[in-house]
Structure 1
Amino acid sequence: MLVILAAGFAPGLALLSFFYLKDYYGTEPLSVVSKAFIFGAVLVLPIMFLEYILKTENIIMNHFSTAFLSAGLIEEFFKWFILFYVIYNHVEFDEPYDGIVYGAAVSLGFATLENIFYLIGNGVDQAIGRALLPVSSHALFGVIMGYYFGRGKFTNKNKHVYISLAFVVPYLLHGIYDYILLTQEYWGYWMLPFMVFLWWYGLKKVKMARVLSDIHASQLL
């Protein structure tokens, strides 16, 4: 069991540390980041329940609805909800890059507990594949969501547009990710370029958030 817990936690904590340590303007308090991580983990249970209900009531009838309703819509909405109502107005969310940290924390909290449940049911030999695909994709969905939250909070124009994009963009990317897994027999041929794009897009948002934080810091001087 200890091996499963270690394998389940390791990729999430490693990815969260990566994005956390890129915050050069006063790293976020670990207590608040941990809170966001725990909130994300707690989301696993109600989301699993909702997805079970959708399946048993035959609301989910095909791969498209599984990818874009059961997985993408529900999971990304609940993460968005936590970020907006718990983190967005927090006093420690005081620069654009902080959205990246908290977005990654919530998303990786969810991915980590989901990963542990999966490894318990399917064995620790699945750990590497889980780290490379589901855990890292969740991290990047959270980074992208957090970028738009950070952009929305520290702009004077079109705040509602950025807050909406914080949900819409990760939702669409998540749906595409699951749709590839569900519909393609040789899904690796499609998933590899998609994951390359996702990492490129996520890291591009990290750089843009850093630039926005630089501008924000200079305005405070």
Structure 2
Amino acid sequence: MISVISAGIAPGVALLAFFYLKDRVNSEPLSMVFRSFITGGLLVIPIMFLEYTFVIEGVGQSPFVKSFLLTGLMEEFVKWFIFLYTIYKHVFFDEHYDGIVYGVSISLGFATVENLLYLLANGIEYAFGRALFPVSSHALFGVIMGFYFGKSKFKRKHPKQMIAIALILPAVLHGLYDFILSAVQSNWLYVMVPFMIMLWALALRKVKLANQEKKVVHLDRRNKWTGTI
């Protein structure tokens, strides 16, 4: 039991630490990150209930609808909603990269509880594959969501459009991930591995851009404080 619990929790914590440590200037308070992580985990309960209800009622069970609407859109919407109403206007969300930290923490809280429940039901032998694909994909969707929330708040250009993209892009990518699993019956790894590589490249690009923006902001602040011209 202890080994299953450890295997269920470890990937989420490791990925959260990875993206947290990518925050090179003024890291976020661990209490806020932990609270976001726990909040994300609590979202699993209502989502699982809704998804189970749709299965029992036989509603929307075609691969496309189930992947893009009942899984991708629904799961990303609840994470987006929690971010928008608990993080977006918070005083600690004061720099672009902070959006990535909080987006990842909410997503990985969700992914960790989901992963733990799956391993408890199906066995520890699935731990490596779950860490490599579902858990890491949730983290990457969180990066993308948080990046566009940060862009909305600090770039000040088309903020409503950026908030919409913060939902739409992760939902589409999440739906595509699930659609690959449900529609590709054989040799699915030949499709999934390139997709995951693309997803990692996209997310790490967002991390780099957000960190560059953060450095510019801190340089401007330092120049104002020191009188540098």
TM-score range, shorter chain: over 0.9
The code of the aligned residue for 1:190 comes to V
* Counterpart in the other structure of 1:171: 171
* Counterpart in the other structure of 2:77: 77
The code of the aligned residue for 2:75 comes to E
* 2:119 equivalent to 1:132: no
* 2:202 equivalent to 1:188: no
The code of the aligned residue for 1:125 comes to E
* Counterpart in the other structure of 2:37: 37
* Counterpart in the other structure of 1:55: 55
Equivalent residues in 2 for 1:140-151, closer than 5 Å: 140-151=140-151
Larger gyration radius, structure 1 or structure 2:
2
SS of 2:155's equivalent in the other structure is coil
1:25 is displaced (CA, Å) by 1.5
* Distance across 1 between alignment mates of 2:49 and 2:220: 46
* Distance across 1 between alignment mates of 2:48 and 2:89: 28
Normalised by the size of structure 1, how large is the TM-score? 0.98
1:117-160 per-position Cα deviation (integer Å, ceiling 9, x unaligned): 00001100100000000000000000110000111110222011
**CA RMSD between the two structures:** 0.8
Which stretches of structure 1, 4 residues or more, deviate above 4 A after TM superposition?
A: none
* Counterpart in the other structure of 1:152: 152
SS of 1:33's equivalent in the other structure is helix
Equivalent residues in 2 for 1:6-21, closer than 5 Å: 6-21=6-21
Q: List gaps (5 residues or longer) in structure 1.
A: none
The code of the aligned residue for 2:4 comes to I
1:216 is displaced (CA, Å) by 2.0
* Counterpart in the other structure of 1:104: 104
SS of 1:97's equivalent in the other structure is helix
1:168 is displaced (CA, Å) by 0.5
SS of 1:26's equivalent in the other structure is coil
* Distance across 1 between alignment mates of 2:217 and 2:80: 24
SS of 2:58's equivalent in the other structure is coil
* 2:205 equivalent to 1:204: yes
Normalised by the size of structure 2, how large is the TM-score? 0.95
1:89-144 per-position Cα deviation (integer Å, ceiling 9, x unaligned): 11111100001100000000000000000000110010000000000000000011
The code of the aligned residue for 1:26 comes to N
The code of the aligned residue for 1:131 comes to A
* Distance across 2 between alignment mates of 1:219 and 1:103: 26
* Distance across 1 between alignment mates of 2:145 and 2:218: 22
* Distance across 2 between alignment mates of 1:156 and 1:216: 14
* Distance across 1 between alignment mates of 2:4 and 2:111: 14
